[in-house]
Structure 1
Amino acid sequence: MNVNELLTEAYARLPDLVGAAVDGLTPPQLRWVPQLGANSIGWLVWHLTRIQDHHVAQLLGTGQLWTEGDRAGRFGRAADPDDTGYGHTPEQVAAVAPQSPQVLVDYHAAVWDRTRSFLAGLAPADLDRVVDDSWDPPVTLGVRLVSVVDDSLQHAGQAGYVRGLLPG
């Protein structure tokens, strides 16, 4: 298995997890939190997609899919490229209001399509390229890609867990 196949395999697990977490839910269920300060299913799926969109766009040197068309409006948000959910307060979590499960699935599918294309073009030597030298040690492309998929898989699991806690 080469690096492209390995990373694609890891990222390719996310669409099914996203779909399973949100399938058939109502907008209020997407926004429900088990207790104040917890994250909702909608926020968790939005956030994992925002992080992937933000980071892969940065790696490609392109704009984020989040800022195209009225995508952000379908979540009750402004198209702010810096709003990824990192550091959100409970009030900001509650303000992420996807209109339906489909808007979450569609946004994630668009981000996944772009990520898959990016991964397909990678060569093993690309993984050693430094993409962020503000850390010690500096962050390489390989470390960034593993970090994003790790964070995404954790949040997808959390969304599935919160779904199991939904009342009724």
Structure 2
Amino acid sequence: MNELDLFLREHAAVHGASGPGDYHVADWALDGLDDARLRMRPHGLNSIAWLFWHLARVEDSCVATVVFGETQVLRRRR
């Protein structure tokens, strides 16, 4: 297994929904949560929905700028 294979395997495990029977951290963490639970902010802390959004933004920033040397997807003009 090379570096790219390792990255792709770990990336798939985190993001989920790639196939039946696969283990996915996101699927496990969000399973059974309704909209109210996803948006709940216990003690004024960030919600689960916000945390997953933030993870996606950090990944976009790192992959776009560090790996590809491009502008983040969110910042690109449409």
Q: How many residues are matched? A: 68
- What is the TM-score when the length of structure 1 is the normalising length? 0.35
- What is the TM-score when the length of structure 2 is the normalising length? 0.66
- Mapped to 2, the partners of 1:68 and 1:31 lie a distance apart of 27
C-alpha deviation, 1:24, in angstroms: 6.1
- Mapped to 2, the partners of 1:67 and 1:25 lie a distance apart of 30
Please say if residues 33 and 40 of structure 1, whose CA atoms lie closer than 8 Å, have aligned partners that are also in contact.
yes
Larger RCO (CA under 8 A, 6+ residues apart): 1
Tell me the residue number matched to 2:50: 43
Classify the secondary structure of the residue corresponding to 1:13: helix
Regions of 4+ moved over 6 Å:
none
Q: Which amino acid aligns with 1:8?
A: L
Larger radius of gyration: 1
Mean Cα deviation higher: 17-26 or 45-54: 17-26
Which sections of structure 2, spanning at least 5 residues, go unmatched?
17-24
Tell me the C-alpha RMSD between the 2 structures. Answer: 2.5
1:8 aligns to 2:8 (yes or no): yes
Which sections of structure 1, spanning at least 5 residues, go unmatched?
71-168
- Identity, in percent, stands at 31
